[in-house]
């Protein structure tokens, strides 16, 4: 009997030990995996350092590349395209002007009535239309015909509503065309290539302003293109209209780009073409900026290699709305491969662009104690249910690293422009001071990333102040300028139809 009892007790003890061993083993394994997930984050964080020293190197590299791009065509990855805009709106413009904004899946037509100094913009009407898919891949004639007809309907409707209409008068249009264009004058420019899903091949190499004017004439619309610009130049124009200290404009949307006012004598490559001795707006096409000082990780390299434009738009791929979500997704996928913190749904993280930047921003900005929004987005948008609170915290950390790096590099880019034009307070040839007094400097910003992602905005502003130092930063204003790509073009149409 005693033996039986002893045997049962021994058996129980063995089973208990075995269960305990399994549990301890499982816990140890799970701890190891958790540690791996945290290591992935740490390595990523280390690869993304944007110390003040690193940012200053990026500032210098931006200024150096700007010099090189202004010295010769092909001298830098920055194209530094001339806009021929040497005069920006200042609030004195008067009259009714139209604008057409083409640069994505939608195009917009606008009409603004300007009242001059003191009254500024009296009224504005806007209509937005999607571009039918077949026209984005069709012929130049088809695309511009569609635009001209839509514009004509808009103009007629506006005039019907207007008591002071002058139907026979030639109307003036600003055309915002946000694709790479080699400008020949303020109102003409040749399309270099299409981007953003457009492939109307017979338009490449043509003057897009003339294509539009021909279509307008055929449609019976008495209108001319007074200014052909892109969205950055439009934003600079609107910024300057409200505040004459505005010297640069930057877009942070799906993509990114910047323009600024340069002294004409610094634009060495086109001296023969430039008559004015003051300043001219230069479209940097800064999305293609590159420097070995940019903190690049294996995730950035993989994203670039898998993109349709490999080796192109390197800066844009680290800082713009199109890509931030996907960088975060790649890091999370690596974590999922090395641990089991995302359970069975982790496979979804292998899908490129499944995590869009607005969703990433919403997770990043979730301030609920149990990160409810992070859990909801993982479950509903990525089909990854039941992620633990600890793992949700890691997700937020990843979003933070991606966005902090992006915003700080963007800030370094902006300070690079200020350095180039002597507004960074560092002295040099054109110091940011006039007779000892610092000059006020405004940078206009447009785009959904900056406007809607408050953490991006905060990190960017903080980094600008950190790089410039408090004293100089007090004189630099970063200002959201909404709808520069629409209204800005109408303002430029006003400037260039009354001035000359």
Annotated catalytic residue within 231, 300, 366, 424: 231
Nearer to ligand ADP by Cβ, of 145 and 364: the residue is 364
108 noted as active-site residue? yes
Closer by beta carbon to ligand ADP, 99 or else 155:
99
Contact positions with ligand ADP (CB under 6 A) in 353-372? 357-358, 361
Give min distance, CB of 395 to Mg ion, in A.
Answer: 29
Window 248-287: residues binding ligand ADP (CB under 6 A)? 253-255
Which of ligand ADP, Mg ion, none binds 358 (CB below 5-8 Å, type-dependent)?
Answer: ligand ADP
| Residue 210 bears catalytic tag | no
Least distance to ligand ADP from the beta carbon of 369, Å? Answer: 22
With helix as H, strand as E and coil as C, how does the chain read? CHHHHHHHHHHHHHHHHHHHHHHHHHHHHHHHHHHHHHHHHHHHHHHCCCCHHHHHHHHHHHHHHHHHHHHCCCCCCCCCEECCCCCCCCCCCEEEEEEEEECCCEEEEEEEEEECCCCCEEEEEEEEEECCHHHHCCCHHHHHHHHHHHHHHHHHHHHHHCCCCCCCCCEEEEEEECCCEEEEECCEEEECCCCCCCCCHHHCCCEHHHHHHHHHHHCCCCEEEEEEECHHHHHHHHHHHHCCCEEEEEEECCCEEEEEEEEHHHCHHHHHHCCCCCEEEEECCHHHCCCCCCCCCHHHHHHHHCCCCCCCCHHHHHHCHHHHHHHHHHHHHHHHHHCCCCHHHHHHHHCCCCCCHHHHHHHHCCCCCCCHHHHHHHHHCCCCCCCCHHHHHHHHHHHHHHHHHHHHHHHHHHHHHHHHCCCCCCCCCCCCEECCEECCEEEEEECHHHHHCHHHHHHHHHHHHHHHCHHHHCCEEEEECCCHHHHHHHHHHHHHHHCC
State in angstroms the smallest separation of the CB of 381 from ligand ADP: 14
Q: Is 486 among the residues that bind Mg ion (CB under 5 A)?
A: no
Q: Considering the candidates 76, 101, 108, 300, report the single residue annotated as catalytic.
A: 108
**From CA 194, how far away is CA 189, in angstroms rounded?**
14
* Interacting partner of 453 out of ligand ADP, Mg ion, none (Cβ under 5 to 8 A depending on kind): ligand ADP
Position of minimal CB gap to Mg ion:
253
Question: CB of 440: closest distance to ligand ADP in angstroms?
Answer: 26
Residue 461 interacts with which of ligand ADP, Mg ion, none, CB < 5 to 8 Å by class? none
* Residue 417 binding partner per list Mg ion, ligand ADP, none, with a CB distance cut-off of 5 to 8 Å that depends on partner kind: none
Residues in binding contact with ligand ADP, number by CB under 6 A: 14
- Minimum CB distance to ligand ADP, residue 52 (Å): 26
Binding flag, residue 449, ligand ADP (CB under 6 A): yes
Which tokens hold the place of 263? Answer: 């002294």
Print the binding letters for residues 313-342 with ligand ADP: x by CB under 6 A, - otherwise. Answer: --------xx--------------------
Does position 488 interact with ligand ADP (CB under 6 A)? The reply is no
Report residue 468: phi and psi, to 5°: -75, -25
By beta-carbon proximity to ligand ADP, the closer residue of 174 and 253 is 253
Q: Return d(Cα 500, Cα 497) in angstroms, integer.
A: 6
Q: Interface residues for ligand ADP in 134-163 (CB under 6 A)?
A: none
Q: Which is nearer to Mg ion, 159 or 483 (CB)?
A: 483
Q: Which is nearer to ligand ADP, 244 or 482 (CB)?
A: 482
Q: Tokens 């791929």 — which residue?
A: 317
3-state DSSP call for residue 91? coil
Binds 47: which of ligand ADP, Mg ion, none (CB < 5-8 Å by kind) = none
One character per residue 380-419, x = contact with ligand ADP (rule: CB under 6 A): ----------------------------------------
With CB under 5 A as the contact rule, the residue among 180, 239, 253, 314 that binds Mg ion is 253
Q: How far is the CB of 364 from ligand ADP (least distance, A)?
A: 9
State in angstroms the smallest separation of the CB of 240 from Mg ion: 18
The catalytic residues are 108, 178, 231
Q: Which residues make up the interface to Mg ion (CB under 5 A)?
A: 253
Q: Which residues make up the interface to ligand ADP (CB under 6 A)?
A: 104, 253-255, 321-322, 357-358, 361, 447-449, 452-453
């Amino acid at each position: 009997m005693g033996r039986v009892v002893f045997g049962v007790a021994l058996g129980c003890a063995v089973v208990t030990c075995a269960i305990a061993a399994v549990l301890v083993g499982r816990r140890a394994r799970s701890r190891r995996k958790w540690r791996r997930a945290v290591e992935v984050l740490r390595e990523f964080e280390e690869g993304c350092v944007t110390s003040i020293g690193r940012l200053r190197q990026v500032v210098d590299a931006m200024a150096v590349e700007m010099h090189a791009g202004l010295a010769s065509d092909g001298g830098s990855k920055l194209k530094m395209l001339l806009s021929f805009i040497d005069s920006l709106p200042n609030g004195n413009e008067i009259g009714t002007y139209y604008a057409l904004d083409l640069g994505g899946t939608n195009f917009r037509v606008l009409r603004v009535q300007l009242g001059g100094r003191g009254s500024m913009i009296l009224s504005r009407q806007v209509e937005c239309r999607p571009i039918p898919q077949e026209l984005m891949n069709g012929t130049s004639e088809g695309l511009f015909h569609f635009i001209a007809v839509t514009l004509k309907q808009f103009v007629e409707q506006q005039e019907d509503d207007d008591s002071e209409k002058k139907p026979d008068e030639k109307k003036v249009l600003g055309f915002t065309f946000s694709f790479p264009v080699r400008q020949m004058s303020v109102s003409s420019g040749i399309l270099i290539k299409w981007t953003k899903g457009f492939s109307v091949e017979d338009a490449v190499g043509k003057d897009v302003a003339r294509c539009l004017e021909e279509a307008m004439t055929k449609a019976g619309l008495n209108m001319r293109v007074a200014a052909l610009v892109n969205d950055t130049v439009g934003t600079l124009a609107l910024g300057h209209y409200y505040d004459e200290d505005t010297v640069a404009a930057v877009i942070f949307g799906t993509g990114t780009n910047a323009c600024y006012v340069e002294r004409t004598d610094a634009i060495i490559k086109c001296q023969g073409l430039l008559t004015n001795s003051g300043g001219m707006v230069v479209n940097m096409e800064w999305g293609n900026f590159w420097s070995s000082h940019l903190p690049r990780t294996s995730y950035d390299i993989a994203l670039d290699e898998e993109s349709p434009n490999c080796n192109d738009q390197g800066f844009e791929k680290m800082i713009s709305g199109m890509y931030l979500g996907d960088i975060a997704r790649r890091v999370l996928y690596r974590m999922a491969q090395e641990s089991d913190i995302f359970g069975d749904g982790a496979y979804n993280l292998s899908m490129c662009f499944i995590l869009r930047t607005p969703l990433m921003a919403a997770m990043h900005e979730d301030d609920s104690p149990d990160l409810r929004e992070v859990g909801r987005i993982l479950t509903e948008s990525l089909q990854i249910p039941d992620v633990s609170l600890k793992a949700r915290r890691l997700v937020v950390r990843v979003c933070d690293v991606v966005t902090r790096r992006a915003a700080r590099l963007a800030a370094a880019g902006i300070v690079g422009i200020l350095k180039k034009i002597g507004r960074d307070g560092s002295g040099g040839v054109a110091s940011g001071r006039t007779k000892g007094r610092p000059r006020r400097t405004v940078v206009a910003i447009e785009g959904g990333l900056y406007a809607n992602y408050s953490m991006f905005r905060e990190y960017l502003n903080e980094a600008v102040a950190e790089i410039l130092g408090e004293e100089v930063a007090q004189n630099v204003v970063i200002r959201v300028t909404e709808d520069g790509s629409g209204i800005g073009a109408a303002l430029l149409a006003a400037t260039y139809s009354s001035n000359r």
